[in-house]
Amino acid sequence: EPEVTQTPSHQVTQMGQEVILRCVPISNHLYFYWYRQILGQKVEFLVSFYNNEISEKSEIFDDQFSVERPDGSNFTLKIRSTKLEDSAMYFCASSPDRGSGTEAFFGQGTRLTVV
C-alpha cells in the first residue's frame, strides 16, 4: 500500500540552527501538507501546497518557515532559525485532490528536538 515517508524520524538541533524536514508524498497525489503536534497537544495545521505554491497557511507558519518541492518526489519543510518552542512532531500529509470527501494520508512524523 502506498505511504507517505518522512526522514529523519528524529532530529536534534541547537537553537538558532536551520533544519530541513523531508517528506516523500504518495506519487500520484497533488496536495501536500505539513502539520505539527507539540507533546501532549493537538495536531495543528501549518501549511498546504499545490501546484508549486502555498495554498493556505496558519498563523504558526511565519517567516521562519518555508516549504519547497525541489523535484518530482520530495516535499520539504525548512525552519530557518529554530527556537525551543519549535520542538514537536512534524507530520507530512498528501491527498489526491482537495475535495471535502477526500482523505489525507499522513507520514509517521519527524520528532524535532531543539536544545
Partner 1 sequence: DAKTTQPNSMESNEEEPVHLPCNHSTISGTDYIHWYRQLPSQGPEYVIHGLTSNVNNRMASLAIAEDRKSSTLILHRATLRDAAVYYCILRDVAGAGSYQLTFGKGTKLSVIP
Binding site for partner 1 (CB under 8 A): 4, 31, 33, 35, 42-45, 48, 50, 55-56, 58, 91, 93, 98-109
Instruction: Give least dist CB 45 to partner 1, A.
Output: 4
Q: Which is nearer to partner 1, 19 or 107 (CB)?
A: 107
CA–CA dist 22, 58 (Å, integer): 20
Q: Which is nearer to partner 1, 19 or 92 (CB)?
A: 92
What is the maximum span of the chain, computed from C-alpha positions, in angstroms?
A: 41
C-alpha 42: how far from chain center: 15
Nearest C-alpha neighbor of 108 from the set 91, 96, 88, 86:
91
Q: Which is nearer to partner 1, 3 or 18 (CB)?
A: 3
